[in-house]
Amino acid sequence: MGRAAAKGAAGCPFCAGHEAETPPEVWALRPDGSAPDTPGWRTRVVPNLYPALGAPAATAAGGSPGAEAGSFASSGDPLLTSRRAGEPDLFSARPATGAHEVLISSPRHVTAMAELDDAEFADAVATWRERMRAHADASCLQLIVNEGGGAGASLEHTHAQLYALPFVPAAVARQRERAGSYAERTAGAGLLADVLVEEVRRKERLVAIDDEAALVCPWASRSPFELRVIPRREAPRFEADAVGGAMIATAMRVLAARFGAPPELNLWVRTAPRGAEQFHWHVDIAPRLTIKAGFELGTGVDINVYPPERAAADLRDCL
């Protein structure tokens, strides 16, 4: 899927020299010791201007239980006769407290991580880890990268976003439970570690491997050219580890090579939620090549038109 024409650096709030156009920075990598909110940084972290999460509000905005059931209801209408009105669990809600940061990966106006050089890429990933560690008290940390308008990026200048959540999302909790029950069943083995051993042995979905991490097109990938970076040595927390950055770079670059330009994509880091020790961090990358339609939304079942074995073979040819 092609990208919209690049808008360029003019008016880009993430470019060096435009620091005044963002909220004040909360952290920056400044090897030259330059002052905050001035040029001289290599990576720069600012609060999201439109945060999904924030400080606790002074007053909670609750529903109004006295609201009318609906003036359109007539006598005998189940809307009027139900005795179950006022069930408190129907509309459960909680304040969206937490932090939402933007991690700007380069002072240069680069629109895809694939275009960062090795040193820039390493700085970007080190910054992800730095900010995740700064929010270690959160129940769950979600770091993501959106590249391209079709993947949800509203600004093209390459950046990541970190969400420090006050709860553990269902998908993360499910992985935690599965890793825990696998360990119980196998006297302590790691689920993803065992999957990795088998992927390396079979090779059909393996794209690349180095001393630190492997790159695979996961078994039963939900969309074409999905990629997963898995550290060779099992570790629960991405932010407490130091490996895998070079393989994330390989993943982004091999996708750009396969498609002739960086495709629109989403990247997310799956790291252990607070308190979970039986866990294996990994990084997933999903190019936005297809659209989820009615069947996928209705069933939760994804149809992948390009099997991971074929995608892996393509990508090995592009290394």
Residues that bind Zn ion (CB under 5 A): 9, 12, 14-15, 109, 157
Longest dimension (CA), the chain: 76
Amino acid sitting at position 95: P
Rounded Cα gap, residues 318 and 253, in angstroms: 9
CB distance 179 to 192 below 8 Å: yes
What is the Cβ-side half-sphere exposure of residue 193, based on CA atoms within 13 angstroms? 15
Least distance (Å) between residue 36 CB and Zn ion = 19
Cβ distance to Zn ion smaller for residue 110 or 191: 110
Q: Which residue's Cβ has the minimum distance to Zn ion? A: 12
Q: Could you tell me if 265 and 287 are in contact, meaning their C-beta atoms sit under 8 angstroms apart?
A: yes
Instruction: Report phi then psi at 143, rounded to 5.
Output: -105, 135
Return the number of the residue (107 or 263) whose C-beta is nearest Zn ion. Answer: 107
> Please, which residue, 15 or 162, has the CB nearer to Zn ion?
15
Residue 82: partners with Cβ closer than 8 Å, 6 or more residues away: none
CB of 309 to Zn ion, least distance (A): 38
CB of 104 to Zn ion, least distance (A): 8
Residue with tokens 């003036």: 71
| Comparison of 109 and 222: residue with beta carbon closer to Zn ion | 109
| Amino acid in the structure at residue 152 | G
Q: Residue 159 CA to chain centroid, in angstroms?
A: 12
HSE-up of 115 (CA within 13 Å, CB side)? 16
Please, are residues 248 and 125 in contact by the beta-carbon 8 Å criterion? yes
Pairwise CA distance, residues 23 & 44, whole Å: 11
Residue number with CB closer to Zn ion (2 or 8): 8
Closer residue to Zn ion in complex, CB, 109/258: 109
Q: Which is nearer to Zn ion, 105 or 250 (CB)?
A: 105
State the minimum distance, in angstroms, from the CB of residue 30 to Zn ion: 18
Min separation Cβ 83 and Zn ion, Å: 59
The least CB distance from residue 14 to Zn ion, in Å, is: 5
Other C-beta atoms closer than 10 Å to the C-beta of 275 total 8
Q: Closest separation between CB of residue 275 and Zn ion, Å?
A: 38
